[in-house]
Amino acid sequence: MDSSQYHFDPSYGYSLEQLLAAIVSLKEPKDFDEFWKQRYQRALMIDAQPQIKLISEDASDWQVLEISYTSTDNFIIKGWLLLPVSGVIKRGFVVGHGYGGCDGPELNFPFKDAAILFLCFRGLALSVHPEISSEPYWHVLHNIDDRDKYVLGGCVEDVWLGVSALLSLFPFLTGHIGYLGISFSGGIGALALAWDARITRGHLNVPTFGAQILRLRLQTNGSAHSVQQYYLSHKKQTIQVLRYFDAAIAAKRIKMPVHFACAKFDPCVAPPGQFAICNAVSSEKQLYVLEAGHDDYPNKTQQDVELMRQLEEFFAALIGE
């Protein structure tokens, strides 16, 4: 990879062997489990009340629908729902997006027998909100001084209520739900998967929010840089909150099979943080090593094809689970 376009080395000098070794994360808060279990139980009590409206049909063999549902704190989460034009629905997926937002559903997934919910997290894309900046630089800082109100916690709840919405529409999909998240939603996904047994398989692609204390120290672009700038003048407070939102700590609690795509070179999500999440998972897992994340490179198209092939195989088990 060419690091000359950056003012730092996006590989951070780590070899693949070093990345695959255990990476120490933040010290766990004593009430980490209690904090998240209580949030999850509160989220389960909410009626997601999903509303759907057909947009188009026969778009690459998909029906495309608008969907909205109620999340915690009365946030209305919007997105898209893909349903197969023909055939039987055998599995479901909740799909998150990166901090670049989401302009529409991905029509090229090989899951033609699935109901696929593409959610827009609170404050972002279709789920814009007057109280939350849609700019990643500020969104990631929203209520960062309060662990109970920090926006990342609400985004995790948006995933849980997305699962509730999908099961409300298709209750027969119980036990057949998967999750796919990339970058921002990869880290959010790790935090969500740790507690939600309704999701039986997950895929996390270049996930962020791993090894938070290390993440604060490594030069980077993107939302992590914003947090680093805030940290300079609010060190103790920031650490006290972020230790509850360390995806590598949460990953230790994940019990379902997880497929990872982690990059050796990434200017926005430092690779040591990505691999820290993967390394922490003790359940069944698979890893696909990307040459780079958040960056173009000659083999990107080939790797994208190979990754999609692996995901097709990995999530085939959802049908039988």
From first to last of the 321 residues of the chain, give the pLDDT tens digit.
666 789 899 999 999 999 998 776 668 999 999 999 999 999 999 999 999 999 998 778 899 999 999 999 999 999 999 999 988 999 999 999 999 888 899 998 999 999 999 999 999 999 999 999 999 999 999 999 999 999 999 999 999 999 999 999 999 999 999 999 999 999 999 999 999 999 999 999 999 999 999 999 999 998 999 999 999 999 999 999 999 999 999 999 999 999 999 999 999 999 999 999 999 999 999 999 999 999 999 999 999 999 999 999 999 999 976
The answer to whether position 11 is within a domain reads: no
The answer to whether position 312 is within a domain reads: yes
**What pLDDT sits at residue 314?**
97
Amino acid sitting at position 52: I
Question: Maximum distance among all alpha carbons in the chain?
Answer: 56
**What pLDDT sits at residue 71?**
98
The answer to whether position 1 is within a domain reads: no
Helix intervals (H) in 123-183: 136-139, 151-169
**What pLDDT sits at residue 2?**
66
What pTM, to 2 d.p., does this model score?
Answer: 0.96
Phi-psi region of 91 (alpha: psi -120 to 50; beta: other; left: phi over 0): beta
| Lookup: tokens for 81 | 């729902």
The residue segments making up the domain with residue 155 are 19-320
Helix intervals (H) in the chain: 16-19, 32-44, 136-139, 151-169, 184-193, 212-215, 223-231, 235-242, 247-251, 271-280, 300-314, 317-320
The answer to whether position 5 is within a domain reads: no
Contacts of 228 (CB under 8 A, 6+ apart): 216, 220
The answer to whether position 3 is within a domain reads: no
The answer to whether position 8 is within a domain reads: no
The answer to whether position 289 is within a domain reads: yes
The answer to whether position 46 is within a domain reads: yes
How many structural domains compose the chain?
1
DSSP 6: S
CATH number, domain of 276, equals 3.40.50.1820
> Rounded distance, CA 304 to CA 311, Å?
11
